[in-house]
Structure 1
Amino acid sequence: MNPSRSAPGPSAAGASRATVRVTFLGGLGDVGRNCTVVECDGRLLVIDFGVMFGDPAIMPGVQHVLPDMGWLASRARDVVGLVVTHGHEDHLGGVPHFLRTIEVPLYGSALTMALAEHKVTEARLEDRTSFNVIEDGERRRIGPFDVEAVPITHSVPQSLCIVLHTPVGALVHTGDFKIDESPVDGRLTDLERLRVLGDEGIALLMADSTNADRPGRTASETRIGATLRRLFSERPDRRLVVSCFASHLHRVQQVCDAAVAQRRVVVPAGRSMVNNVRIARGLGLLDVSQNCLFGVEQLDTFDPAEVCVICTGSQGEPGSALAQIAAGAHSQITPGPDDTVILSSHPIPGNERAVFRMVSRLARSGAEVIHDGHEQVHTSGHAQRDELRELHQACRPRWFVPIEGEFHMLARHAQLARELGMDAERVLTLTDGAQITLTGSDLRVGAGVPAPYHYVDGTLEDPDAGVIEERLALTAGYVHVTVVLDRHGRLAAPPDIATRGWLDMTKHRDVVKALTGEVARAAERHHNTARSRHDTDEIERAVRRAAGRFIGTRTRRRPAISAAVISLD
């Protein structure tokens, strides 16, 4: 795959006849699974294809949720590329799944492409794509699309704001961003370029809404480094364990800097942390000497006060390094009273219970645990309201669609745009599956496309919603009723009740006995009224209904119920 690198500007002739369609397949109503598709001249350009972590309370067994591929798969031949704005899982994590269905070149910054290549190679899909680096400020022709990469600040290096120069005007997709005036790497959000684009005319702005509820400005990432240096210096005799996202390389850099300043060795733990440290060092994006880096298998050669472990698992993810450490299941790291564990993160909505369960386990081990409720050990990578104002004032778009957030975040961002003077009808608060068409200066909201959740369950993809509902039903327990009929269609023996997770059958014999009687009466009623007394399917349905009514009324529980009818004909 050898995409063209030329980038001619759009022709003014015929612009009034041109149309550009934008379809939102994810990220409008949830934090995660971000995906936007832009169509021009019958070709599709996809921006991001991320994952959302499954909520075990409502999606038991689901590891990830992806944007649905149904509509995209039906247009597979029209897709000319997938541009990834940055290297976070909610924008990049679904790329291997995407490539299994659609063979297409990938585009993004050097770090984003290196992270994508690692994922794709692990999935053995590298023959289905190419990895194309777009530099800051570069314009690149991808099919009919004139794509410009504007540098923007986020918590992962080399994040990009994607600008599409189209016959109807510029479309600006911010990806995740903040306006950090003192970033760790010195790479600033290019507001001046966005102002120039605003002067030229931005048709549509699509902007990150994650912190649209929060007033003021997001604290600079460099402030976290100062906190870490202080905490480290106050604990010279303790082993330090710091957990953060493996892709949060600005944070990793500051942890390494604080550790090296104290003459500690840095020990990456967790597969993604080890891989990302290696990748970032190879690209020159992480400045830490190889002499300071050691593997977890070498921990025993150092005094605990000489060690700083940096690991994955800040969200309490099952199987992550910190989750294993907290559970006492890590092969090399056992927490204890001489340890300080710093969670350099904030729980993603829905992860709070898992995070604080892990914190409690660490505390029970005697370890000191510090999180952002105690100290400023984390700052967001997302713009708050003052920064969003700066973005809008720079861009001054004709139309605005808030993206990337739960619906209340989108609504607050839309409210901010109206407060800044945009006409209410030009601010569109949409949901997944929405489809808009821009024609000249007009915009039309279409019927949309299906955009259901696409579940990933271990190595299996897309268990349907019915399977998830069945799993949820099983959380209330399971009851199986067996009825044996003689050759006349009457009960040959009392019904047998077997349960799992519903109740203690020894403690509640009276309930089980009453259920047995209710099922027996239902079977007898069917025998007395049925046209065919050997219709086992009908008897099963009657028995199931009777059991369900009894259990719901008597126990106020709704376990999964099954029935088997055996005829001795």
Structure 2
Amino acid sequence: MADARTKQQPLTARLDPKVPVRIVFLGGLGEIGRNCMAIEQGAADDPDRTIVLIDCGLMFPEMNMHGIDLILPDFTYLRDNAKQIAGIVLTHGHEDHIGAIQYLLRDNDGIGHLLDGPLPVYGSKLALGLASSRIEEAGLLGRIDRRSVEDGQQIDVGSLLIEFIPVTHSVPHAHAIAVHTAQGVVLHSGDFKLDLTPVDERRADLARIGQIAKTEGVRLLMSDSTNAEEPGFAPSETNVGGVLTTLFAQHRDRRIVTASFASHLHRIQQIATAAIADGRKVATLGLSMKKNIRLGLDLKVLNIPESSLIDISEIDKYEPGQICVISTGSQGEPMSALGLMARGENKFLKLGESDTVVLSSHAIPGNEGNVNKVIDGLLRLGADVIHSGVMDVHATGHAQADDIKTYLSIVNPEWFVPIHGEYRHMVANAKLGELMGVPRNRIIQCEDGDVLELSSDGLAQVGRVPSGYLYVDGIVGDVGSGVIRDRQKLAEEGVIVVVATVDVQTGKVLVGPEIITRGWVYAPEAEALLDEACDTIADALERALSDGIRDVEQLEREARRAAGKFVSERTKRRPMIVPVVMET
């Protein structure tokens, strides 16, 4: 069982320069999402070797990842070392940090079949509640041991001491993680910004971070890079509340539908507060929104009177100006509540000229196209649409450049590794580190799969582990990168299937070749082109047969080569070509 410490205590006894500490990056470096890293203490043959996982998140697919639902970290390293994993530590409850836990626990591609018992998962009650919802949906709740922590609490996990330091972010009860190791303190910033007027008045504990920096010192800082390119300080979340109040007043006679992340409970609180002050009832739309609001109410993270909440099925009993709907779908997901609304297909809500839709979020990189399509659909239905490009209805949850510089000045780390963001964000963060006095040779730019070792000699890259994408298409592991490439080619260039029958005894083409195509040319309008292609492929097959080739696979290669050359020369395109040669 974990040893919960109610107060900080001297930690110097843990220092041991002979014990190695490694950091293994499994996701989140050079991308938005898949945040996952392992910190391990002890040599591979040490019976007390401890591996602690910090977060285990997912990433949403890009537009060209056809048919893919989600993208996960590669769990190969964790499967190979499953017996040494002492637990998972959660920084906060966003999907890009907790969404892959259920897949990690499965038997096929995860570590479920390798566990001797439930895997300890440490985090705030809210983070555990948000993670548990997904894990329960997968029927795997029995495979975790949920261990809630309080702000400032210290927990022994194997041979490591983990400390949970409060920070402000766009989801309540977020934490930075201080890992007290044999090589000193490794500080993981978590996702954070320096919000001095947060909605719940829970501020980042910069005093504790400064205390660590002044006493033990921070050997290694790994810090959020998402907004490192943005100058200034990130605006306070409470700023949005004032904008929402103004917006509700300006649209007093209209029904207001808002869309935000279901986990952004501070935003939901401010929307509900503005709606209730305007005399409106609040209805939720979308399963995750309904579940998360109920979780927030149960944990007293949200303060919304039950008398102000109504079921979505009751909204038609009220005048438009008496209703506020809080919906999922702020990222333009096609099957989300808002996505269905934009197509007029939502069974609970039909939008029209008396509706105002507020997108209280920014598009995740890669989702801009989906969000724009939803906005277009809403406008076609006659609704007014308000987004962050029109009014300040969103505030980022990530530190901007001046936040980061302030943080660095407090931490004063010996070594600095930017994390969490696209590569350009991490480069910008590295420059901020140098600006704030971290020597250039003590800033290491890492990527997914890198392994760092912290020792008395310093910090160095010592190897690589598998870190590719694990794609989810219905079930885990049923598609790979080769399938994605095929889907991209099919979507962009189409497919040609060439079918022929040959007599291997006489060396003659008996039937065909016949060409079946989808997405290359429209067959009824390209008969002459298809006939010419058939003749070209037939000539190639007959030449191969006359040269004594009888192997079906070799004949298929000749058919593919001839078809590919013809198609490229005549149409300047490269569709997928599937030859099928049958023998008699």
Q: TM-score, normalised by structure 1?
A: 0.97
Contact 1:54 1:62 in 2 (8 A): yes
Q: Does structure 1 residue 23 correspond to structure 2 residue 38?
A: no
Contact 2:14 2:181 in 1 (8 A): no
1:142-169 deviation line (CA, Å, top 9, x unaligned): 1111111110000000000000111211
Unaligned runs of 5+ in 1: none
What's the CA shift for 1:566?
2.4
- Within the candidate set 36, 53, 61, 1:54 is matched to 61
What's the CA shift for 1:106?
0.4
What's the CA shift for 1:56?
2.6
- Within the candidate set 105, 111, 124, 2:139 is matched to 124
1:115-137 deviation line (CA, Å, top 9, x unaligned): 12222211111111111111001
Contact 2:2 2:155 in 1 (8 A): no
Contact 2:168 2:194 in 1 (8 A): yes
Partner of 2:46: none
Matches of 1:202 and 1:61 in 2, distance apart? 44
Following TM superposition, the consecutive aligned residue runs of length 4 or more in structure 1 with deviations greater than 6 angstroms are none
Matches of 1:14 and 1:302 in 2, distance apart? 65
Of stretches 271-280 and 466-475 in structure 1, the one that deviates more from structure 2 is 466-475
Q: Does structure 1 residue 472 correspond to structure 2 residue 478?
A: no
Q: TM-score, normalised by structure 2?
A: 0.94
Partner of 1:38: 39
SS at match of 2:345: coil
Partner of 1:263: 279
**Counterpart residue identity of residue 428, structure 1:** I
1:287-326 deviation line (CA, Å, top 9, x unaligned): 0011111222222222222111111111011211100111
Alignment of 1:423-462 (within 5 A): 423-440=439-456, 442-461=458-477
> Sequence identity, in percent?
40
Partner of 2:406: 390
Matches of 2:335 and 2:475 in 1, distance apart? 16
Partner of 1:151: 166
SS at match of 1:541: helix
- Within the candidate set 97, 100, 115, 2:103 is matched to 97
For residues 459 and 302 of structure 1, do their structure 2 counterparts lie closer, same or farther at Cα, with a shift above 3 Å needed?
farther
Partner of 2:232: 216
Partner of 1:523: 541
Matches of 1:245 and 1:32 in 2, distance apart? 15
SS at match of 1:437: strand
Contact 2:499 2:512 in 1 (8 A): no
Partner of 1:189: 204
What's the CA shift for 1:9?
4.8
Matches of 1:117 and 1:409 in 2, distance apart? 31
1:83-134 deviation line (CA, Å, top 9, x unaligned): 0100100001111112223341100011001112222211111111111111
SS at match of 1:444: strand
**Counterpart residue identity of residue 516, structure 1:** C
What's the CA shift for 1:225?
0.8
Matches of 2:566 and 2:202 in 1, distance apart? 66
SS at match of 1:472: helix
SS at match of 2:484: helix
Matches of 2:191 and 2:529 in 1, distance apart? 55
Partner of 2:94: 88
Partner of 2:567: 551
What's the CA shift for 1:8?
6.6
Provide the aligned C-alpha RMSD in A.
Answer: 1.4
SS at match of 1:73: helix
What's the CA shift for 1:12?
4.0
1:326-374 deviation line (CA, Å, top 9, x unaligned): 1111101111111100100111110011110111011111111111111
Partner of 2:187: 172
**Counterpart residue identity of residue 3, structure 2:** S
Contact 2:507 2:546 in 1 (8 A): no
Contact 1:10 1:166 in 2 (8 A): no
Contact 2:498 2:513 in 1 (8 A): yes
Matches of 1:67 and 1:87 in 2, distance apart? 17
- Within the candidate set 480, 483, 490, 2:500 is matched to 483
Q: Does structure 1 residue 355 correspond to structure 2 residue 402?
A: no
Partner of 1:400: 416
- Within the candidate set 501, 507, 513, 1:495 is matched to 513
Matches of 1:35 and 1:14 in 2, distance apart? 26
What's the CA shift for 1:470?
1.3
SS at match of 2:310: coil
Partner of 1:336: 352
What's the CA shift for 1:460?
3.5
Contact 2:222 2:417 in 1 (8 A): yes
Matches of 2:15 and 2:264 in 1, distance apart? 45
**Counterpart residue identity of residue 89, structure 1:** E
**Counterpart residue identity of residue 60, structure 2:** F
Contact 2:15 2:181 in 1 (8 A): no
SS at match of 1:446: strand
Q: What is the number of equivalent residue pairs in this alignment? A: 564
Partner of 1:66: 72
What's the CA shift for 1:448?
1.8
For residues 440 and 239 of structure 1, do their structure 2 counterparts lie closer, same or farther at Cα, with a shift above 3 Å needed?
same
What's the CA shift for 1:66?
1.0
Contact 1:147 1:164 in 2 (8 A): yes
**Counterpart residue identity of residue 129, structure 1:** I
Matches of 1:386 and 1:162 in 2, distance apart? 21
What's the CA shift for 1:14?
6.0
1:491-526 deviation line (CA, Å, top 9, x unaligned): 224421111121111222222122112111111211
Matches of 2:426 and 2:255 in 1, distance apart? 42
Contact 2:103 2:476 in 1 (8 A): no
Unaligned runs of 5+ in 2: 43-48
Of stretches 432-441 and 460-469 in structure 1, the one that deviates more from structure 2 is 460-469
- Within the candidate set 261, 265, 284, 1:245 is matched to 261
